[in-house]
Amino acid sequence: MKRIIISGGGTGGHIYPAITIYKEIMAILPDAEVLYVGTEAGLEATLVPKEGIAFRTIPVQGLQRQLSLKTLTTLGKTCLSLVKANAIISDFKPDVVIGTGGYVCGPILLAAALRKVPTIIQEQNVIAGITNKILSRFVDVVAVGYEEAKKSFGKAKRVVYTGNPVRPEVLVDTREQGRNYFNLTDTDFTVLIAGGSRGARTINTAMIEVHKHFKNRENLKLIHVTGSGEFDTVKAALDGDFTQSNQADIAKELGGFTYGKATMVLPYLHDMPKALAAADLAVFRSGAIGLAELAVRGIPSVLVPYPYAAEDHQTYNARIFVQEGAAHMIVDKMLSPKDLIGEIEMFMDNSALLKQMAAGALQLGKPKAAHDIATIALEIAK
């Protein structure tokens, strides 16, 4: 029986890949014993126990870029986290340790590597995070989401291009099933707009005028997921004109509303795979996991990178999709309603380009990434 530690935290972009890799490990090796190491305050403390995975925490937080009293506190927690990580290694005795990013990975992977426990990290972005850059000097394998990311790991022992893990459920629904879920017709050109779990203010603000412009457009459906924090603002801006449409009952059931004939606005969408199955086009940020899901489904996209992401990594992620002919990119500070209206109308009128970009997206998709990472981890295990 193999004993495996998985660690990743802070954002869903680190946690969901970890959970997906965990599920692949259990599919390959059902009797494996897995422990997830995270932080008490991170999103992982909520998501991981729901999956039935054993969970332990260490007291670590990200380093501040400026020297202050808070920096000293953080350093103290980092030292304490190394002690606790070492204790977890001693107690659990893992055969392999897997990290998917976030500062929580640092102590547990470093402790494991220094004790000659096989280790692997997974880097989702084109531009590597600082934690993974440091860890790459110690771990046995670095699995990268993009071929171009190899440049960040020149001193690593072994770098493997696997692609980014994608939840299996993303590929389950057919286009017909996705469209039936939202009560869409075959002729409805469907655009999925989402800025991630917290939403994206720039996109949400621009979309208000887009909704008004397309309000009564035939054969067009806009599924706009605002994020729960932005939903009320968008709702208030749309003048309360919540016209009944074929999607009205569905929107209400999902906590949202319809606007005119063309628009459905939702605060959050738990069943995002069905929306991906239904979509002809996406307007997204360019976080690595969202892009991986667009790629495996072959969905052309208009990308608006989040400008404050660490090392501006979302812009670099988006550029790969643009280079491969899978997406168009609009810089966040330049985004306007006119831009989005123009992009949507252009794609509606250009099926040949849409088909070409869908093929480009599929070329970037790696549906077996989680399986490949799980396989490598089990191969290097003691």
Q: Is 317 annotated as a binding residue?
A: no
CA distance 248 to 320: 37
**Residues in Cβ contact with 59 at an 8 Å cutoff, skipping those fewer than 6 apart:** 39, 40, 77, 80, 81, 84
Q: Is 167 annotated as a binding residue?
A: yes
Q: Is 350 annotated as a binding residue?
A: no
Q: Check the CA dihedral 256-259-262-265 and report its sign.
A: negative
Closest CA to 310 of 158, 129, 121: 129
CA distance 224 to 203: 10
**Residues in Cβ contact with 351 at an 8 Å cutoff, skipping those fewer than 6 apart:** none
Q: Is 258 annotated as a binding residue?
A: no
Q: Is 86 annotated as a binding residue?
A: no
* Cβ pair 100, 11 in contact under 8 A: no
CA distance 347 to 341: 10
Q: Is 260 annotated as a binding residue?
A: no
Beta-ladder partners of 98: 6, 120
Q: Is 101 annotated as a binding residue?
A: no
| Known binding positions for UDP-N-acetyl-alpha-D-glucosamine | 11-13, 125, 167, 197, 314
| Known binding positions | 11-13, 125, 167, 197, 314
